[in-house]
Amino acid sequence: KAGVTQTPRYLIKTRGQQVTLSCSPISGHRSVSWYQQTPGQGLQFLFEYFSETQRNKGNFPGRFSGRQFSNSRSEMNVSTLELGDSALYLCASSSFDRSTDTQYFGPGTRLTVL
């Protein structure tokens, strides 16, 4: 089975711009979660989608949004970028079958805001 894929892998933007990141989960997985990872804050949960519905949301401003498509692929969008948004954005998928309840991470998108 192919793993979780994320595109692009690296991105450089300037303050005020907006960005869209993409995540394709493992085939058959219906849950996709997004995380932001920075050296100071560690891994912070952004949101989770399951069957095209946002099931959970972390404590991030409304500039961070996401969606999930019928094929389970997910996108997250960050508008009006700030310097502090520079981070590694990780996507993780799971089948959310309680007996095999494991999240598998993609390689991440490294976003740099200048």
Partner 1 sequence: GQNIDQPTEMTATEGAIVQINCTYQTSGFNGLFWYQQHAGEAPTFLSYNVLDGLEEKGRFSSFLSRSKGYSYLLLKELQMKDSASYLCAVRGPYNQGGKLIFGQGTELSVKP
**How many C-beta atoms lie closer than 10 Å to residue 61's C-beta?**
10
Which pairs count as long-range contacts for 15-19, CB under 8 Å and 24+ apart, including other chains?
Answer: 15/81, 15/82, 15/83, 15/113, 15/114, 16/80, 16/81, 17/81, 18/77, 18/78, 18/79, 18/80, 18/81, 19/77, 19/78, 19/81, 19/111
Site string for partner 1, 87-106 (x = CB under 8 A): ---x-x---x-x--xxxxxx
Least CB distance to partner 1 at residue 49 (A)? 11
Residue 45 found at the interface with partner 1 (CB under 8 A): yes
Which range touches partner 1 (CB under 8 A), out of 13-21, 38-46, 61-69, 72-80?
A: 38-46
Judged by CB under 8 A, which of 20, 58, 73, 75 binds partner 1? 58
Least CB distance to partner 1 at residue 80 (A)? 25
Binding site for partner 1 (CB under 8 A): 33, 35, 42-45, 48, 55-56, 58, 90, 92, 96, 98, 101-108
